[in-house]
Structure 1
């Protein structure tokens, strides 16, 4: 249980002082208790329930961040990359309700965060991106625009943060932007004079002919923005001023807000309990039907006590689950007399994290719901558990059931992997594992790269392929997390592999 407006509890202090110093007359004590119960009702006690999908109004935006080697240049303090990164953080704060997608690109673009209004997730993805692991040095706006044109999201508001690299074909870029239905806002990072780029060892970067590399902002960027009726901006003196300029530009475009789907937490209101108790006490004091009200109060009190105890244990179970104290979680769930959907889901997820997959499957199957979304979630979790048991045929069945209830990219991707694993199991060609829902921030790019990659049985989380020992296989299996796990992890090696794809064959690395 939690309070939505805990500030009202300050009113309990003067009431408590009155209760302590007042006369010992029963009616005075009862009146003070009634006032305390009313204050507690105003504080809005609630019980948190499961996340549910809701439709909200928000503008769709795509932020594309250039992470090529030239972004290490220091003509914009502290570096072009750091300045862009801090600008994105300020921009997220200025637009808290908008639906934002984050893409990092060099020679290859990669989705870091899918469209979301939860900007904490975007900041986590941004913080976990380490430029030191990026080997590609070039900048390809052409590949970025081609990838955006493949996204079936309708009109796109693109904020492009880059120094432009060595792009030269204006006509091709203009055509790609127009075909992709993009409203383009470019933040040009760098100066026209340019600067040298320092290596890790302190030496200056040189090309293959041993000449110093001078990195400048590409003048093509301003021309491109003009040719597609976009906006071209340069870095201001401060990060906040730059973010404000971008926000003002977006505001001037008067982009209409769209309805987007977002998972929101719903609450079970409990204010009726202290309010009802206050009313009962009032009528008991000021009416003659005391004995009847006392019977009613006793009956309601027993029911309320049982309900509140169940909610109390469920809340403790949630806390211990988040703290990875799984034994305590099961202990609290066992003390709940009336099992709810939430408590059963927590118990099943606990079994899953303890690798008791058979018990997890049994518990998932015992949950009954008429909600298609919840059923889809249950089928997906059951399929994941069967996959961990290497019961691939059963996993196929439940992934298929999940897909029959609605579109689910994770389930579709996992079904593809399970089909490969089922074929390869007898030949002992290696092992790969399906994504958990926590990896959804990179699922779109991973699916596309899987089609292009020769090693199609490798998941986007970066788990290894054939030739593993049994111990390594068990370690890789543990990476498949349950749907309720909200822990955040650094970007895996697969992310950098997708960014660095083809870096050896770069033709214009600067």
Structure 2
């Protein structure tokens, strides 16, 4: 057991002092005990449950930060680089649920933080990046866009924070952005007048001929944003105002909202116990119907599988599912705080109905049960989804697993069908769909409501279970990502070597 708000326990100190110093009157003592139980209730005792994978709706946003030497210029206070960092922090706060990736780039791009909804990790990576160790003086937008094009992420929302360097390849950069499927938002850091740049020793940076280097914002950035129908911004008076402008541009982009899988910790609420005791004590001393109250609190103490509110949303999800309103079904399922077998089964069936077969498979495999009937149904549904994806070999495996747990005419029929399709797929004979959850047996809708709830959260047993479990490394990684108390390690020298790679051959750093 743990407390989510342990700071409330400080209120027990004055109550304990009153209890110790007050006259020994029964009513007075009971009232103080009632107050103590209420304080314990406010501290919110919970029982931690295992990490569960949750699906959330989020946009994919990539923040590319220029960390080249010219970002030390002070025409934007305090420096271009520091202003960019403050803007990123404000942008993260404005988009708490989005999947954000952070890339630092000079002549070479380097991934500092992979796509994550845990923005604390991004802030850690940003704070541990020391620009003093970056020797590169150039800025290569071409290499950045090529790197983004190589990432298999689908549509990308790119927030580019840079002074632009000295690149002049507008047509080539435009083609790279379009081919990479990027919605571009540019934050141009710098002024058209430009400024000098100080070295670490306080002297001004000069070129090989001894002339002072003047760093200006590259006008190519505005032309690039215009050519790809992107948004172009310059620095506002504050980083917060600048972040608001960038956020408005991101919201206006016709970007795709995707489903992001994230490990989340769920809790079993225990506040009902001290609260029930407090109410019981109060009514014992102030009412005569004690025996009826004892029966009432006994009933309230029985832990249900889900709260009344969760059952309400689950019933609405069933109704919307039966009415084929699958978007509303998912909306209601997201309101459920404690996942149950029934809610997960309905969610997986909803994905299946929407032809999101990969998501359906993933959800079916995440369900754990020791019931052979439920596991048989899960195998059957997984096999159906693989068959719809034309992964006939995998479908045969799961139809076989389903039949190993019991006789099933539908599974047997579909097994013969996918075996035939697997053998004749190359002959292009067309696709015959196996019997789905709409058949008269309607397995996923009937069995999910009749199985006992005691099997929902128990580990899977037997050969295979409801789905493959995470490997130990994946569990350790999920634990690390969800634990905000992990020690923060500074970036190693190898990171800066990767950033600085190739800087020796630069001919025109600005």
Q: TM-score range by the shorter chain?
A: 0.5 to 0.7
SS in 1 for 2:470: helix
Give me the whole-angstrom Cα distance separating, in 2, the residues matched to 1:37 and 1:165.
Answer: 64
**1:110-168 deviation per Cα after TM superposition (whole angstroms, max 9, x unaligned):** 11011112221111111111111112211110110111111111111110000111111
Instruction: Quote the residue 1:240 is aligned against.
Output: 240
2:224 matches 1:130 = no
Shift of 1:69: 1.1
RMSD across aligned positions (CA) = 3.8
Instruction: Quote the residue 1:92 is aligned against.
Output: 92
Q: Based on CA coordinates, which of the two structures has the bigger radius of gyration?
A: 2
Instruction: Quote the residue 2:101 is aligned against.
Output: 101
Instruction: Quote the residue 1:496 is aligned against.
Output: 496
> Structure 2 matches for 1:286-297, cutoff 5 A?
none
Q: 1:493 to 1:373 in 2, by over 3 A?
A: farther
Instruction: Quote the residue 2:220 is aligned against.
Output: 220
> Structure 2 matches for 1:134-173, cutoff 5 A?
134-173=134-173
Q: 1:277 to 1:485 in 2, by over 3 A?
A: closer
Instruction: Quote the residue 1:404 is aligned against.
Output: none
**1:161-193 deviation per Cα after TM superposition (whole angstroms, max 9, x unaligned):** 001111111111111111111110101111112
- 2:90·2:243 contact (CA, 8 Å) conserved in 1? yes
- 1:185·1:225 contact (CA, 8 Å) conserved in 2? yes
Give me the whole-angstrom Cα distance separating, in 2, the residues matched to 1:89 and 1:288.
Answer: 57
> Structure 2 matches for 1:90-489, cutoff 5 A?
90-253=90-253, 255=255, 257-275=257-275, 277-278=277-278, 369-370=459-460, 375-378=469-472, 380=473, 437=477, 486-489=486-489
- 1:49·1:266 contact (CA, 8 Å) conserved in 2? yes
Give me the whole-angstrom Cα distance separating, in 2, the residues matched to 1:231 and 1:9.
Answer: 51
**1:352-407 deviation per Cα after TM superposition (whole angstroms, max 9, x unaligned):** xxxxxxxxxxxxxxxx95499995342x3xxxxxxxxxxxxxxxxxxxxxxxxxxx
Shift of 1:486: 2.3
Q: 1:73 to 1:39 in 2, by over 3 A?
A: closer
Instruction: Quote the residue 2:44 is aligned against.
Output: 44
- 1:438·1:486 contact (CA, 8 Å) conserved in 2? no
Instruction: Quote the residue 1:77 is aligned against.
Output: 77
Give me the whole-angstrom Cα distance separating, in 1, the residues matched to 2:86 and 2:155.
Answer: 26
SS in 2 for 1:92: helix
Q: 1:118 to 1:288 in 2, by over 3 A?
A: closer
User: Which ranges in structure 2 are unaligned for 5 or more consecutive residues?
Assistant: 303-457
User: Which ranges in structure 1 are unaligned for 5 or more consecutive residues?
Assistant: 301-367, 381-407, 412-435, 442-482
Instruction: Quote the residue 2:62 is aligned against.
Output: 62
- 1:438·1:485 contact (CA, 8 Å) conserved in 2? no
SS in 2 for 1:214: coil
* 272-281 vs 219-228, greater mean Cα deviation: 272-281
**1:231-259 deviation per Cα after TM superposition (whole angstroms, max 9, x unaligned):** 11011122222122212222333645432
**1:270-299 deviation per Cα after TM superposition (whole angstroms, max 9, x unaligned):** 224324545775798767879x99xx9xxx
Give the TM-score normalised by structure 2: 0.58
Q: 1:212 to 1:15 in 2, by over 3 A?
A: closer
Q: 1:237 to 1:33 in 2, by over 3 A?
A: closer
- 1:57·1:260 contact (CA, 8 Å) conserved in 2? yes
Give me the whole-angstrom Cα distance separating, in 2, the residues matched to 1:223 and 1:44.
Answer: 56
Q: 1:35 to 1:206 in 2, by over 3 A?
A: closer
Give me the whole-angstrom Cα distance separating, in 2, the residues matched to 1:103 and 1:439.
Answer: 24
- 2:64·2:158 contact (CA, 8 Å) conserved in 1? yes
Give me the whole-angstrom Cα distance separating, in 1, the residues matched to 2:121 and 2:466.
Answer: 26
Q: 1:506 to 1:282 in 2, by over 3 A?
A: same
Shift of 1:5: 5.2
Q: 1:439 to 1:175 in 2, by over 3 A?
A: farther
User: How many matched pairs?
Assistant: 342
Shift of 1:57: 2.4
Instruction: Quote the residue 1:509 is aligned against.
Output: 509
Give me the whole-angstrom Cα distance separating, in 1, the residues matched to 2:466 and 2:203.
Answer: 60
Give the TM-score normalised by structure 1: 0.58
Q: 1:505 to 1:29 in 2, by over 3 A?
A: same
Shift of 1:269: 2.1
